């Protein structure tokens, strides 16, 4: 029986399985391709900008600042 609760041993066993199934050259080329492939950046900054100050404070971000003043005609419901 093989002990797999050790992460390093588990990774080693998974790599051995991949190499046995696909060959060492294909595994190395796939790993290099994954390292060199450009990763799409997630638009996190944009979603953080849309959060209100309460949510930003909950996750440890500073508040956005004061909101701009309301135009005078908005007080009349137009």
Encode pLDDT of 34-56 as tens digits: 999 887 766 776 777 778 888 88
DSSP 35: H
Cα(22)–Cα(16) distance, rounded to whole angstroms? 10
Whole-model pTM?
0.44
Regarding predicted confidence, which is higher, 73 or 26? 26
């Amino acid at each position: 029986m093989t002990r797999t609760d050790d992460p390093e041993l588990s990774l080693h066993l998974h790599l051995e399985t991949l190499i046995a199934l696909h060959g060492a050259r294909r595994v190395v080329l796939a790993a290099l391709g994954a390292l060199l492939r450009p990763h799409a950046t997630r638009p996190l900054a944009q979603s953080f900008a849309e959060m209100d100050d309460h949510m930003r404070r909950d996750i440890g971000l500073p508040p956005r600042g004061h909101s701009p003043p309301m135009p005078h005609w908005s007080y009349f419901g137009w």
